Amino acid sequence: MIYFAHPTAIIDEGSLIGKDSKIWHFSHIMKGCSLGERCNIGQNVVISPDVVLGNNVKVQNNVSIYTGVICQDDVFLGPSCVFTNVINPRSAIVRKDEYRKTIISKGASIGANATIVCGYNIGKYAMIGAGAVVTKDVDDYALVVGNPAKVIGYVGEYGHRLNFNKEGFAICEESKQEYQLIDGKVVRIK
């Protein structure tokens, strides 16, 4: 077996699961999903049809990932975070042809109980605070919190807050990677 699935997990036919991935208790992987290598799917997770997860994606317990969501490599989805896929859902009106795409870029982290409204993109290495409600695109390296989520700073690839000097340069305390803030956008320079 190239991946592990707990006996209580349900994996629909037609889903692809990468090598060394793990799927835990009571999770449901629906048809047409694609999970990369080394993914870890916590307990009680629902991954709807056609969702794509890159390599090394960590999905904590009680997360719902709906059709239209794409998570690139090294994404972290905190406990009980949720995605939407229709902007104006109604039980009596079928809107499956109106699903909006949401892309979570490489290395981004989404905190516990955060909600990501459909149709917006989360930039690479961005960090979404616990309980935040994302209602617009989030830039690379941005740290956002609140409802609606607002940028309160920036983080590096190791997740530490970046402190920019007056020239717009910052160094990560752990990795020593260097970053520059240019017109409100962060780029890694070294």
How far is Cα of residue 72 from the mean position of the Cα atoms in its chain? 8
- pLDDT above 90 (res 190): no
Q: Is the pLDDT of residue 1 over 70?
A: no
Domains of the chain: 4-161 (2.160.10.10)
Q: What is the mean pLDDT of the chain?
A: 97
* Angle, alpha carbons 77-78-81 (nearest 5°): 85
- Specify the length of the chain in residues: 190
pLDDT in tens, 19-59: 999 999 999 999 999 999 999 999 999 999 999 999 999 99
The DSSP H or E segment spanning 82 is: strand 82-83
Could you give the CA distance from residue 91 to residue 3 in angstroms, rounded to a whole number? 36
**pTM for this entry:** 0.96
Our CA dihedral for 165, 149, 138, 51, rounded to 10 degrees, sits at 140
Note whether 37 and 57 are within 8 A (CB).
no
Q: What is the pLDDT of residues 135-164, one digit of tens each?
A: 999 999 999 999 999 999 999 999 999 999
Q: pLDDT tens across 20-30, in order? A: 999 999 999 99
